[in-house]
């Protein structure tokens, strides 16, 4: 049952993330249809992350009490509704509402992690959790690629050539909505997988009884308890843990600011079409999969984790700043590649460094704090990028790179403290 359940969870999360990747590169262009300003586009990205930050702990806590399946069924059904709203959006308000509903119902990842913890032993848990990371990588590769194909003019021309002129005209009208409908279909498939192939792992708690599992009881960053835990963990562990948690926030913040600023820059400065921007997101995803899925293991044997973390921060910062200097699509592709390579090096290594600094007794609490701060970065970053783009088109990249310089300093401090071996 365990292998079958893990495979089902992997497919559910993968489908979920493909759907997310479908709409990710298109949001700025869709919002432009309704005369959205850059800062509004940034808010359109941020509202999803904010809602997810608030509601993921709630869904996680409920899944401990009433079971994983009901929450995952509710989450996937909510995603279907959100994507249908996205596809039919006739105003900026409906577009915002669709992203808000998607964020509120975005409890699948946290619940899937809890499910994996339920069905794996301590020895196999890291391998099981690795399925989530693999799903992220594949989803962020396939999603943007599918989005680029669905909105490409050649697809509409092919549909018209087959004699379905009415459908081709509908595709033209609903050009940016079409990936939303496809994402809704994928989410419905995910709903069916949970409904028919995913057994429950949690026994419902009696009224007033404390649930046996506490996997999702971590407080939200919007709750005072989160910051009290952060302060307590810093006092308990000491060392550079606070710097690492700060770096986790900054790296997530920097990557998220790219979501809103980069498509707008590509359109305004390089006159790139939406499908071309989608392929650049696909390219970033491929680099992440290749590095994190294959190269990071041999690199970790050849170099120290602190050295890889330090190098990754340098590459990400330099690549981010260089994006603003792009004079052609080929230059942009190179600079995006440098940035993506850096982020693919520092993301897995910072998680490992945090876990080692925390120790076994504080591992769960510390990783929860890191995930919360990373989520906060994803919530703030897009609005920051959109706001600065509205001031000056080059400003988001230079200003964010300046903020990322702090991570280079943190990486250098760690590297000096723990020299490469």
Q: How many CB atoms lie within 10 A of CB 297?
A: 10
d(CA 47, CA 379) in angstroms, rounded, equals 7
Which range scores top for mean pLDDT: 148-152, 205-209, 378-382?
A: 378-382
Q: What pLDDT does residue 221 have?
A: 64
Q: What pLDDT does residue 3 have?
A: 62
Q: Is residue 226 within 8 Å of 372, Cβ to Cβ? A: yes
Q: What pLDDT does residue 218 have?
A: 57
How does DSSP classify residue 223?
A: S
For residue 310, pLDDT beyond 70: yes
Whole-model pTM over 0.85:
no
For residue 166, pLDDT beyond 80: no
d(CA 371, CA 373) in angstroms, rounded, equals 5
Q: Which fold has domain 219-416?
A: Growth Hormone; Chain: A; (1.20.1250)
pLDDT one-digit tens code per residue, 317-331: 999 999 999 999 999
Inter-CA distances, 200 with 69, 91, 195, Å:
6, 40, 10
Q: What pLDDT does residue 21 have?
A: 86
3-class SS of residue 214: coil
User: Please, which pLDDT band fits residue 19 given cuts at 50, 70 and 90?
Assistant: confident
Give me 272's structure tokens: 């790139």
d(CA 6, CA 268) in angstroms, rounded, equals 44
Of the given ranges (99-113, 126-140, 222-236), which has the lowest mean pLDDT?
222-236
In 174-273, which residue ranges form alpha helices assigned H by DSSP?
178-197, 224-237, 241-270
Inter-CA distances, 354 with 312, 317, 419, Å:
16, 21, 17
Q: What pLDDT does residue 161 have?
A: 78
pLDDT one-digit tens code per residue, 194-204: 899 888 877 65
Q: What pLDDT does residue 367 have?
A: 63
pLDDT one-digit tens code per residue, 349-395: 887 787 777 655 555 566 666 777 888 888 899 999 999 999 999 99
Mean of the per-residue pLDDT values of the chain:
82
pLDDT one-digit tens code per residue, 54-83: 887 778 778 778 888 888 899 899 999 999
Which range scores top for mean pLDDT: 11-15, 155-159, 166-170?
A: 11-15
Of the given ranges (49-63, 124-138, 174-188, 253-267), which has the lowest mean pLDDT?
124-138
Helix 274-290, helix 125-151: angle, nearest 10: 160
Query: What Rg value do the Cα atoms of the chain yield, rounded?
Result: 21
d(CA 233, CA 236) in angstroms, rounded, equals 5
Q: What pLDDT does residue 128 have?
A: 66
Would you state the torsion angle of the CA atoms of residues 280, 40, 82, 374, taken in this order, to the nearest 10 degrees? 70
Q: What is the DSSP string of 61-122?
A: HHHHHH-HHHHHHHHHHHHHHHHHHHHH--SHHHHHHHHHHHHHT--HHHHHHHHHHHHS-T
d(CA 303, CA 305) in angstroms, rounded, equals 7
User: Please, which pLDDT band fits residue 206 given cuts at 50, 70 and 90?
Assistant: very low
Mean pLDDT over 230-234 rounds to: 66
For residue 208, pLDDT beyond 80: no
Nearest to 352 by CA among 251, 244, 253, 220: 244
20-55 b/e (C-beta count within 10 Å ≥ 16 → b): bbbbbbbbbbbbbeeebebbbbbbbbbbbbbbbbbb
Q: What pLDDT does residue 43 have?
A: 92
Q: Where are the domains of the chain?
A: 1-200, 219-416
pLDDT one-digit tens code per residue, 121-143: 766 665 666 677 677 778 888 88
Q: What pLDDT does residue 324 have?
A: 93
Asked if the domains at 1-200 and 219-416 fall in one CATH topology, the answer is yes
For residue 212, pLDDT beyond 60: no
Residue 280 CA neighbour count, 13 Å, CB half: 28
How does DSSP classify residue 210?
A: P
Residue 252 CA neighbour count, 13 Å, CB half: 22
Of the given ranges (221-230, 246-255, 265-274, 302-311), which has the lowest mean pLDDT?
221-230
Which residues lie below 8 Å from residue 167, measured CB to CB, with a gap of 6+? Answer: 159
d(CA 309, CA 414) in angstroms, rounded, equals 9
**Class of the 1-200 domain?**
mainly alpha
């Amino acid at each position: 049952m365990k292998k079958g359940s893990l495979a089902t969870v992997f497919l559910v999360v993968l489908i979920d993330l493909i759907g997310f990747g479908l709409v990710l590169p298109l949001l700025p262009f869709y919002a432009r249809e309704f005369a959205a300003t850059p800062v509004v586009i940034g808010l359109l990205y941020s509202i999803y992350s904010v809602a997810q930050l608030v509601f993921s702990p709630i869904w996680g806590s409920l899944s401990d009490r009433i079971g994983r399946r009901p929450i995952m069924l509710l989450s996937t059904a909510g995603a279907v509704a959100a994507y249908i709203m996205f596809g039919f959006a006739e105003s900026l308000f409906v577009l915002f509402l669709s992203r808000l509903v998607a964020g509120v119902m975005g409890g699948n990842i946290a619940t899937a992690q809890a499910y994996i913890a339920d069905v794996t032993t301590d020895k196999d848990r890291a391998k099981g959790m690795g399925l989530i990371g693999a799903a992220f990588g594949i989803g962020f590769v396939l999603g943007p690629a599918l989005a680029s194909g669905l909105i490409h003019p050649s697809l509409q021309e092919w549909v018209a050539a087959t004699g379905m002129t009415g459908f081709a005209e509908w595709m033209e009208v609903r050009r940016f909505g079409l990936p939303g409908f496809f994402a809704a279909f994928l989410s419905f498939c995910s709903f069916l997988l949970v409904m028919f192939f995913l057994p429950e792992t949690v026994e419902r708690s009696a009224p007033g009884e404390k649930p046996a599992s506490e996997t999702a009881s971590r407080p939200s960053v919007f709750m005072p308890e989160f910051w009290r835990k952060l302060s307590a963990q810093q006092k308990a562990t000491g060392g550079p843990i606070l710097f690492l948690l700060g770096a986790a926030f900054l790296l997530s913040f920097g990557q998220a600011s790219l979501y809103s600023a980069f498509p707008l820059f590509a359109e305004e400065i390089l006159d790139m079409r939406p499908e071309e921007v989608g392929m650049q997101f696909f390219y970033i995803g491929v680099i992440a999969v290749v590095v994190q899925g294959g190269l990071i293991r041999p690199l970790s044997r050849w170099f120290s984790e602190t050295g890889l973390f330090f190098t990754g921060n340098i590459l990400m910062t330099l690549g981010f700043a260089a994006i603003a200097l792009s004079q052609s699509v080929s230059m942009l592709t190179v600079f995006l590649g440098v940035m993506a390579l850096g982020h693919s090096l520092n993301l897995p290594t910072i998680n490992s460094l945090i876990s080692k600094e925390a120790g076994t007794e504080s591992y769960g609490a510390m990783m929860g704090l890191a995930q919360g701060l990373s989520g906060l970065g994803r919530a703030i970053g897009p609005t920051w990028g959109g706001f600065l783009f509205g001031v000056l088109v080059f400003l988001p990249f230079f200003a964010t790179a300046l903020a990322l310089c702090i991570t280079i300093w943190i990486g250098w401090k760690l590297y000096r403290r723990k020299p490469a071996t």
